[in-house]
Amino acid sequence: MRLAASVAVVGPWRDTIERLACKVGHRYPASRLIVSFCRHLGGRLIQREGERFERVAIFASGGKMRCGGEGRDAPLGALHYFLGTITNQDEDERAVVALLSLAIRHGDVFFDIGANYGFYSFFVGPLCGTSGVVHAFEANPLLIAHLRGSSELNESHSRIVVNAVAVGSESGKVLRLYDPERIGGSSLYPLDWLNAESSVLVPVTTIDEYRRANSIKRIDVMKIDIEGAELDAFRGMEETFQVCPPALIICELILVSVERSDVDPIKIVDFLEAKGYEARYIRDADGRIGGLVRREDLKRLAQNLINVAFVLSDLKGIRPELFAN
């Protein structure tokens, strides 16, 4: 694949191969062969074009995202460009994409907590439309310029608000974000696999404070992935859970052993169940909400990460099409 990608970028056929790679990659994003070729092709294009490397990923929803530069995030952007989704990582998130496609409707309010490179914000933006809004929260300062630049591409069909702030249990604080160079993996906790010697100070808000300050009356769907700090974010939503609780929360749980007890996924399940939520699987087949997640399941699952759908008990009666049975 490395040799094929090297040949592809030097001949007169380069543009044709790039267009074909995008077309095939969007159709078969889980194929190891295709992903390998796209990864090597993206790497060769970045190497060849340097800071001039600039592409626009167009997702199935109509959302757009800039993919460019030659920083550490450039290879990730290139994969989004070629594949149009998130796959072939520690987990395959196509089921989450499918669930959001079913769940989000025009006029909805979507909270993307831990926006990272912005895939979910820019994918969901057109689904909410200009009558709805996406509120994106990202603590890593290395990603903010990219998020704001990409949000401008979607202004004709989306409203996306980018917030350069971490979400936690208390507003007005400043906390350390560890290993910011690890795009998509930095955390407010010095997890074992992070470079704790590299950190940056970031401001923190709570969802309660943000909602009050912006007069937000509803949150329809929330996606949260902040590398172990999820429970802190939920603790900063006490008022929101009473006033306008999201009907659906998609939360990434870390299942590996860590020293910090607050990262324990069982604590997150317990906390949200006390707020009236059920923890349910997201079906790989079609993204629909499946059976209940039991605590003993979380202790014996083989993978390190899992996305769980936390649903209010009355959601099935209101939106039965979201559920597998």
Query: Could you tell me the two tokens for 281?
Result: 């699987």
Angle at the Cα of 116 (from 193 to 224), degrees rounded to 5?
Answer: 85
What does the chain come to in residues? 325
User: What's the pLDDT score for residue 154?
Assistant: 97
HSE of 177, CA atoms in CB hemisphere, 13 A = 27
CA pair distance 101, 94, nearest whole angstrom? 10
User: What's the pLDDT score for residue 24?
Assistant: 96
Domain boundaries, the chain: 2-83, 94-322
Name the β-bridge partners of 178.
Answer: 187, 199
- Rg of the chain, C-alpha, whole Å: 20
DSSP designation for 269: H
User: What's the pLDDT score for residue 131?
Assistant: 97
Q: What is the dihedral of CA 107, 322, 57, 44, to 10 degrees?
A: 160
Q: Which CATH number among 1.10.357.10, 3.40.50.300, 3.40.1280.10, 3.40.50.150 corresponds to the domain 94-322? A: 3.40.50.150
User: What's the pLDDT score for residue 89?
Assistant: 56
Query: Could you tell me the two tokens for 311?
Result: 């649903």
CA pair distance 40, 1, nearest whole angstrom? 7
CB 289 within 8 A of CB 247: no
Query: Could you tell me the two tokens for 110?
Result: 């979507």
User: What's the pLDDT score for residue 302?
Assistant: 64
Residuewise pLDDT in 10s, the chain (325 residues)? 777 778 777 878 889 999 999 999 999 998 989 999 999 999 999 988 888 889 999 999 999 999 987 677 888 889 999 999 988 655 689 999 999 999 999 999 999 999 999 999 999 999 999 999 999 999 999 999 999 999 999 999 999 999 999 999 999 999 999 999 988 889 999 888 889 999 999 999 999 999 999 999 999 999 999 988 999 999 999 999 999 999 999 999 988 765 566 678 999 999 999 999 999 999 998 999 999 999 888 877 767 889 999 999 899 999 999 999 7
Query: Could you tell me the two tokens for 195?
Result: 């470079």
Residue labelled with tokens 């089921």: 95
- Whether the full predicted model's pTM is greater than 0.85, yes or no, is yes
